[in-house]
Structures are given as structure tokens and as C-alpha cells.
């Protein structure tokens, strides 16, 4: 079983809709969590951290459920520019980040 698992998608969502992704992790001792965004043929970039209490950044909301060992990303009022692959990232208590395989999102006009 992979340490970090995501539904690969693709998710095809109409513009303006709300979409949510989940990610599960296998190690209950995981320390910190992040979402990265990767555009087609580009490098990954940090989107946001995920805090235990949940956090928002504009149209994006990230939540953590330690009991069930999953994190989620919610995108409201989706824009065409949100089309990308979203990578779930977990830190297992060291200086390394472990990446999920990514969920591909396409926003349809």
C-alpha cells in the first residue's frame, strides 16, 4: 500500500462548480500535510498547508481528519485557471516530503 493515496481522476467539472478531492495516508505518525498544484508540463508548486483546525485561502479550503487519516481540498466557484493536477503531500517527521500520485482536474467552460 502506498504511503499517500489519491484518486487520480480525471475530474471534469463545469466552471463555477464546487469540487473536492480526498487523500489518505498510511502512517498515523504523520506530522504535517500540504497540497501542491502542478500545471501540465510544469513543476509542482506549493498551494497551501493543511492545519488540524482546517484552513481557507480564498476559494480553497483544506481539512485534516487525523482519526480517519485523510486530508481534503475543496475548491469553490471553480475557474478555468484551476485546471491542473493537485498533489497531496505528507511529511512523516523528517526533512522529506512524500507525494501522492495526484488528482487531475479539468474545468469545463
Partner 1 sequence: DAEITQSPRHKITETGRQVTLACHQTWNHNNMFWYRQDLGHGLRLIHYSYGVQDTNKGEVSDGYSVSRSNTEDLPLTLESAASSQTSVYFCASSDTGVGNTGELFFGEGSRLTVL
Which residues form the interface with partner 1 (CB under 8 A)?
A: 8, 31-32, 34, 41-46, 49, 87, 89, 91, 93-102
Of 62 and 75, nearer to partner 1 (C-beta) is 62
Measured CA distances, 108 to 35, 63, 79, 85 (Å): 22, 25, 9, 15
Collapsed DSSP state (helix, strand, coil) of residue 85:
strand
Of 53 and 94, nearer to partner 1 (C-beta) is 94
Of 51 and 65, nearer to partner 1 (C-beta) is 51
CB of 4 to partner 1, least distance (A): 8
Amino acid at each position: 500500500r502506498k504511503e499517500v493515496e489519491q484518486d487520480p481522476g480525471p475530474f471534469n467539472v463545469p466552471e463555477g462548480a464546487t469540487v473536492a478531492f480526498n487523500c489518505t495516508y498510511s502512517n498515523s505518525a504523520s506530522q504535517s500535510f500540504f497540497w501542491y498544484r502542478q500545471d501540465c508540463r510544469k513543476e509542482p508548486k506549493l498551494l497551501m498547508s493543511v492545519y488540524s483546525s482546517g484552513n481557507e485561502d480564498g476559494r480553497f479550503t483544506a481539512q485534516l481528519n487525523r482519526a480517519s487519516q485523510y486530508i481534503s481540498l475543496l475548491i469553490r466557484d471553480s475557474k478555468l485557471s484551476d485546471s491542473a493536477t493537485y498533489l497531496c503531500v505528507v511529511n512523516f517527521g523528517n526533512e522529506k516530503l512524500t507525494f501522492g500520485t495526484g488528482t487531475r482536474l479539468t474545468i469545463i467552460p
